[in-house]
Amino acid sequence: MPEWRFCWLYSPPRSDSCASGQVQAAHSLSIVRGRKCWVRLLEKKSGTIPGCFAALGIFTYVGAEVTIGSLLVNYMGLPQVAGLKEQTAANYLMFYWGGAMIGRFIGSAILQRVKTGLLLCIVGVGAAALVLTSILSSGRLAMDAMLGVGFFNSIMFPSIFTLGIQDLGPLTSNGSSLMIASIVGGALIPLGTGRLADRIGLQPSFIVTVICYVYIASFGAAAIRRRVLIQVPPEIPPA
């Protein structure tokens, strides 16, 4: 229990002004402690990855996945891609989200034998390559390449989250809450992509998602050489 709480519980009654000052001091102390926790999440120790990089990975992943999922029907309706009607294009969404489900099962099996950082790097490069192929091509190839991205999205979230909270120790709750808050990327990145599509066109605007996947691949590559810090529990003296 913090010292200021102990004093508040066991100190004799004081005036209102003194009590108010004590509450303000306690509030300031809690803010300072909170800031220290978040600052420590930004620090880079030897062989570790700062928690902010993982949070940015969640931000970019959710943003890229939601961007493709929300704009895919309009994308397949472009004359240079497939020219499908809205109802027909909507039926193809099952391949995008279904690929994510199948990839989750396959990825879980592969993760039993492959390092998480390595697999994350591979799927990040694969997703970026597919989106770039779709941007630079036309017809059925452009449509199928974009639908295939769902398969590579499958293991990104759990992999980034696991690597992000690794070795955080007492800051695990702070780091996990920061990464959960980062799913706001699913609202901001699609908005930015839509604004860019209004200026340069829908197909080239997906370059935003390519940048997101390149960052995720870079995060996975950095995690390959990451040193796992083993925390040894303190010895309990004999009774």
Q: How far is CA 90 from the centre of its chain?
A: 27
Query: pLDDT at residue 116 above 70?
Result: yes
Which pLDDT score, from 0 to 100, does residue 174 have? 80
CB 121 within 8 A of CB 227: no
The least confident of 38-47, 86-95, 122-131, 163-172 is 38-47
Which pLDDT score, from 0 to 100, does residue 76 have? 94
Which pLDDT score, from 0 to 100, does residue 172 have? 78
Query: pLDDT at residue 5 above 80?
Result: no
Torsion of the alpha carbons at 213, 215, 217 and 219, rounded to the nearest 10? -140
Which pLDDT score, from 0 to 100, does residue 193 have? 95
Please give the residue that has the higher pLDDT: either 37 or 53: 53
End-to-end CA distance of the chain: 25
Neighbours of 214 (CB within 10 A): 16
pLDDT cut 70: percent of the chain above it: 73
Neighbours of 66 (CB within 10 A): 19
User: Average pLDDT of 107-115?
Assistant: 91
User: Average pLDDT of 94-99?
Assistant: 92
Q: Where does the pLDDT of residue 79 fall: very low under 50, low under 70, confident under 90, or very high at 90 and above?
A: very high
Domains parsed from the chain with CATH numbers: 51-224 (1.20.1250.20)
With left for phi above 0 and alpha for psi between -120 and 50, is residue 201 left, alpha or beta? left
Q: Which two tokens stand for residue 123?
A: 């799927």
Q: What is the pLDDT of residues 168-227, one digit of tens each?
A: 777 778 878 888 899 999 999 999 999 999 999 999 999 999 999 999 999 999 888 765
Give exposure, 171-190, as e/b (b: 16+ Cβ within 10 Å). Answer: beebbbebbeebbebbeebb
The least confident of 51-55, 107-111, 143-147, 156-160 is 51-55
Query: pLDDT at residue 36 above 50?
Result: no
Please give the residue that has the higher pLDDT: either 112 or 51: 112
Which pLDDT score, from 0 to 100, does residue 183 have? 92
Query: pLDDT at residue 22 above 60?
Result: no
Which pLDDT score, from 0 to 100, does residue 226 have? 65
Q: Which two tokens stand for residue 138?
A: 């036309």
Which pLDDT score, from 0 to 100, does residue 49 have? 52
Please give the residue that has the higher pLDDT: either 42 or 204: 204
